[in-house]
């Protein structure tokens, strides 16, 4: 059978799809993985299409998939079919196929399933039942050759029997593992024993670059238990700045802004990092989204809420909101991977926030346009500019051109400014000096939001959040969308035409989508044709 697996949302590898892939491959079936909900030009007839969605706000992508594949089987907590269990298809198989995530070198899994809590917004207790042990740490770790870094998806790690979680803690400490409790630690379960054991772990954030414990304060009535847990963690040496607390907002329609601010201020006062989680499946609460950005990007450290609103609601500086999402991964305007290395060093245009700045864009339509116009004095390029290039992705410039490493004009170089930040939908050599955002997906040639960028536009680059926001008035942005026309692509060879019809975006590897099904061709040599 030909089977298509679709990851509708989520940044991490999808565990359910990894299990399905491993199982079906072991049965001898062909498995094709994608993040796109749209069919490719030359894709084969699939005997089965299966998809997974984690978040309810992915409803538009879910509906698009249903439209394209009416018989698709769609499961996950983000769907109305959350009761569907993967065991119905694979039995008790636990093997994982990591091959669809070649850049992911960590290990992913659960040590336990279920949850003792009965949160109304969560389906886990109903779907998974009471807490029960499922894996040891060594069951999850991919083995020698891979870092000892674990993404644990446990909903209630310390909610399992004490002898079970202590066994896991021992495995983590004695094995030298770094661990990210991705779903958070139940702060209400923190006592002296739990706090002491947690403090002994090398706990990390999602990227494993800094110390981080994730927890939550969702109900204002849990204030006492929340701060009791925080104080115990601090007692055993966990610094408050290493604690990030999710705060659910928008679920209770009776919740007031006064209560939201109360939770926020209480956490900030003790040094805990708040992280608002907006419950808004229909994407109707812009005010909550604005608050989330205000907090997550830590604008509150140097701007009042009123100052923030005045700036971002002004006609000259209005960011693109979530109704202007990319198709591939649901991010806003432009996005680079969180695993990207390096820092843009642009002190001349810094705004006082580490790793973030606002810049004026100079846009080029490919490398030829760049070379022709970079010295044009009319562009008024100075140290506050960002050089953008488009039409250079897998479709626009077959194969994706290695041209994003643009240099400033000669006059700036003579003044000692030898690099400017750059971005584009093409590639760049690893030996290039330009601080760049690469591989923007979807590319401009297929209607990615990079196509809407114009010379003179202001953009805000935030390396901490891995995003670039276009600061353009909503009316102007709507006008550009209405007037946008896709470029006419001139095929120079029949192979270019075939390639353009089959290639995927750089966000998913820039592969010939149909070719990914034949990676094992060496195991079955095609027969001779003469």
Tell me the CATH number at 188. 3.80.30
What's the maximum distance between 2 C-alpha atoms anywhere in the chain?
A: 80
Same domain (yes/no): 159, 218: yes
CA distance 387 to 408: 8
Dihedral class, residue 337 (left if φ above 0, else alpha if ψ from -120 to 50, else beta) = beta
Same domain (yes/no): 354, 420: yes
Residues 90, 19: contact at Cβ < 8 Å?
A: yes
Same domain (yes/no): 370, 467: yes
3-class secondary-structure state, position 149: strand
In a domain, 355, yes or no: yes
pLDDT of res. 412? 84
In a domain, 95, yes or no: no
> pLDDT tens, position by position, for the chain (530 residues)?
899 999 998 888 998 999 999 999 999 999 999 888 888 767 888 999 999 998 877 888 888 899 999 999 998 887 877 777 888 888 888 899 999 888 888 999 988 876 766 666 666 666 666 777 778 999 999 999 999 999 998 888 888 889 999 999 999 999 999 999 988 889 988 999 999 999 999 999 888 888 999 999 988 889 999 999 999 999 999 999 999 999 999 887 778 899 999 999 999 999 999 999 888 765 667 788 889 888 987 888 888 998 888 866 653 333 333 333 333 332 223 333 333 333 333 322 333 455 778 889 999 999 999 999 999 888 889 888 999 999 999 999 998 998 998 989 988 887 778 889 999 999 887 656 678 888 888 899 988 889 999 999 988 888 777 788 888 887 888 888 888 888 888 889 999 988 888 898 888 888 888 887 776 666 677 777 77
Q: How far is CA 498 from the centre of its chain?
A: 31
Q: What is the DSSP string of 138-153?
A: HHHS--TTS-SEEEE-
CB atoms under 10 Å from CB of 97, counted, come to 20
CA distance 88 to 20: 11
Give the residue among 8, 4, 183 at the shortest CA–CA distance from 79. Answer: 8
Burial zone of 342 (CB within 10 Å; 0-12 exposed, 13-18 middle, 19+ buried):
exposed
pLDDT of res. 156? 83
CA distance 120 to 131: 17
Dihedral sign of CA atoms 329, 331, 332, 335 in order: negative
pLDDT of res. 339? 35
In a domain, 76, yes or no: yes
Same domain (yes/no): 118, 264: yes
In a domain, 100, yes or no: no
Number of structural domains (the chain) is 4
Same domain (yes/no): 369, 305: no
- For residue 158 the two structure tokens come to 């310390």
In a domain, 121, yes or no: yes
CB atoms under 10 Å from CB of 400, counted, come to 23
CA distance 14 to 17: 6
CB burial readout 137-148, b (16+ within 10 A) else e: beebbbeeeeeb
Same domain (yes/no): 352, 425: yes
In a domain, 200, yes or no: yes
Same domain (yes/no): 283, 412: no
Give the residue among 105, 74, 89 at the shortest CA–CA distance from 22. Answer: 89
Same domain (yes/no): 479, 498: no
What is the dihedral angle through the alpha carbons of 464, 470, 474, 478, rounded to the nearest 10 degrees?
-130
Residues 224, 192: contact at Cβ < 8 Å?
A: no
Burial zone of 273 (CB within 10 Å; 0-12 exposed, 13-18 middle, 19+ buried):
middle
In a domain, 103, yes or no: no
CA distance 12 to 76: 14
In a domain, 528, yes or no: no
- For residue 515 the two structure tokens come to 């070719």
Where are the strands (E) in 191-242, listed by range?
202-203, 213-216
Same domain (yes/no): 69, 182: no
Q: How many residues does the chain have?
A: 530
Dihedral sign of CA atoms 74, 76, 82, 88 in order: positive
Burial zone of 101 (CB within 10 Å; 0-12 exposed, 13-18 middle, 19+ buried):
middle
Tell me the CATH number at 424. 3.50.30.80
What is the domain extent for residue 226?
108-324
| pTM above threshold 0.85 | no
């Amino acid at each position: 059978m030909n089977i298509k697996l679709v990851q509708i949302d989520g940044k991490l590898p999808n565990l359910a799809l990894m299990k399905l892939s491993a199982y079906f491959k072991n049965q001898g079936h062909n498995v094709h993985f994608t993040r796109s909900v749209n069919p490719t030009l030359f894709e084969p007839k699939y005997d089965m299409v299966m998809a997974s969605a984690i978040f309810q706000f992915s409803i538009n992508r879910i509906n698009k998939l249903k439209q394209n594949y009416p018989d698709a089987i769609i499961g996950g907590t983000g769907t109305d079919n959350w009761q569907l269990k993967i065991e119905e298809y694979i039995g008790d198989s636990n093997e994982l196929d990591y091959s669809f995530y070649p850049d992911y070198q960590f290990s992913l899994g659960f040590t336990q399933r279920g949850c003792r809590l009965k949160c109304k917004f969560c389906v886990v207790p109903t779907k998974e039942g009471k807490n029960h042990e499922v894996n040891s740490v060594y069951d999850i770790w991919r083995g020698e050759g891979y870092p000892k870094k674990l993404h644990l998806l446990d909903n209630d790690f310390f909610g399992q029997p004490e002898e079970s979680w202590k066994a896991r803690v021992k495995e983590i400490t004695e094995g030298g593992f770094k661990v990210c409790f991705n779903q958070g630690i139940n702060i209400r379960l923190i006592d002296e024993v739990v706090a002491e054991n947690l403090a002994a772990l090398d706990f990390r954030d999602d990227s494993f670059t800094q110390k981080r414990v994730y927890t939550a304060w969702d109900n204002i009535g849990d204030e006492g238990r929340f701060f009791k847990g925080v104080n115990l963690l601090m007692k055993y040496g966990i610094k408050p700045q290493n604690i990030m607390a999710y705060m659910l907002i928008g679920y209770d329609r009776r919740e007031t802004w006064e209560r939201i601010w109360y939770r926020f201020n209480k956490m900030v006062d003790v040094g805990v990092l708040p992280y608002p989680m907006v419950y808004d499946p229909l994407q109707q609460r812009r005010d909550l989204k604005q608050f989330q950005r205000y907090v997550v990007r830590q604008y509150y450290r140097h701007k009042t809420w009123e100052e923030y609103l005045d700036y971002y609601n002004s006609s000259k500086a209005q960011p693109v909101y979530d109704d202007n999402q990319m198709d591939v991964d649901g991010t806003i305007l432009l996005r680079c991977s969180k695993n990207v290395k390096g820092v843009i060093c642009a002190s001349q245009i810094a705004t006082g926030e580490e790793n973030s700045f606002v810049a004026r864009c100079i846009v080029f339509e490919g490398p030829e346009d760049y070379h022709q116009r970079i010295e044009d004095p009319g562009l008024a390029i100075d140290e506050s500019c960002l050089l953008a290039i488009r039409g250079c992705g897998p479709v626009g410039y077959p194969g994706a051109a290695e041209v994003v490493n643009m240099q400033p004009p000669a006059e700036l170089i003579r003044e000692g400014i030898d690099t400017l930040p750059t971005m584009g939908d093409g590639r760049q050599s690893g030996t290039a000096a330009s601080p760049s955002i690469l591989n923007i997906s979807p590319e401009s040639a297929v209607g990615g939001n990079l196509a809407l960028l114009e010379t003179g536009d202001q953009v805000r680059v935030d390396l901490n959040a891995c995003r670039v926001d276009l600061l353009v008035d909503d009316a102007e942005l709507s006008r550009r969308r209405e007037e946008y026309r896709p470029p006419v692509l001139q095929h120079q060879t029949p192979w270019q035409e075939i390639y353009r019809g089959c290639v995927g975006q750089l966000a998913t590897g820039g592969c010939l989508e149909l070719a990914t099904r034949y990676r094992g061709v060496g195991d079955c040599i095609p027969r001779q044709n003469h």
